[in-house]
Amino acid sequence: MSQHSVHNPFSQFRKPFTVDEVLAAPPITYPLTLPMCAPLSDGAAAAILCTEEGLRRMGADRSRCIRVAASVMRSFSHRSIDQPQQGAAHLAARQAYEQAGIGPDDVGVAEVHDASATGEIIQVENLGFVPFGEGGAAAERGEFTLGGRLPVNPSGGLESKGHPLGATGLGQLFELTTQLRGEAGGRQVPGVRHAIQENGGGLLGIEEAAVAVTILSR
């Protein structure tokens, strides 16, 4: 979301767009215009994962440590277009919620793969934030913006933050870790205890070839 990226110093594009500007931009493929598609970006990301014993050995500041509550990967599913509930991302999300012992209502912030603007609408439905078919209307109501019911892509998302391909998923987790630490500045979502990430890659049939869903908790 371009309105979110203005608060992210690591974002590739920090200019907010109005709806009229987006619709008037050069077309890519109907109905997508240029600002509705992610750029290819340079970038890198890294994460340090360790056990409780590892934390003790490193003498880490435990107040800044974030727990991986769930991590699920799934391959694409053989489904028809009218079976969204059988999609890989939705099944991975259900499995992740079960692992973490929480549900969609417990999530305070999300980072999802929005290589195009439709991606965010599809994934908020897959993650169970709204019923299938209602993602677009909820987005129009502002439910997924900062200050809304459940902020999505406070980093600016792939379209504004950038899409460095191999580093994209860890970039999402960096944003969620920053949110859970309360260090996100002007884009901070208050009181976050659980955060979810969805990232997909490739295309087989009508969905991603592979999907990862991760839940982080304080």
Number of domains in the chain: 1
Residue 45 lies in a domain: no
Residue 195 lies in a domain: yes
Residue 54 lies in a domain: no
Residue 72 lies in a domain: yes
Residue 48 lies in a domain: no
Residue 106 lies in a domain: yes
pLDDT digits (tens, 9 = 90+) for 120-176: 999 999 999 999 999 999 999 999 999 999 999 999 999 999 898 888 999 999 999
Element (H, E) at 178: helix 168-180
Residues of the domain holding 128: 2-37+65-217
In this structure, the number of other CB atoms found within 10 A of the CB of residue 196 comes to 32
Residue 46 lies in a domain: no
Mean pLDDT of all residues in the chain?
93
CATH number at residue 27: 3.40.47.10
Residue 90 lies in a domain: yes
What pTM was computed for the model? Answer: 0.94
In this structure, the number of other CB atoms found within 10 A of the CB of residue 176 comes to 26
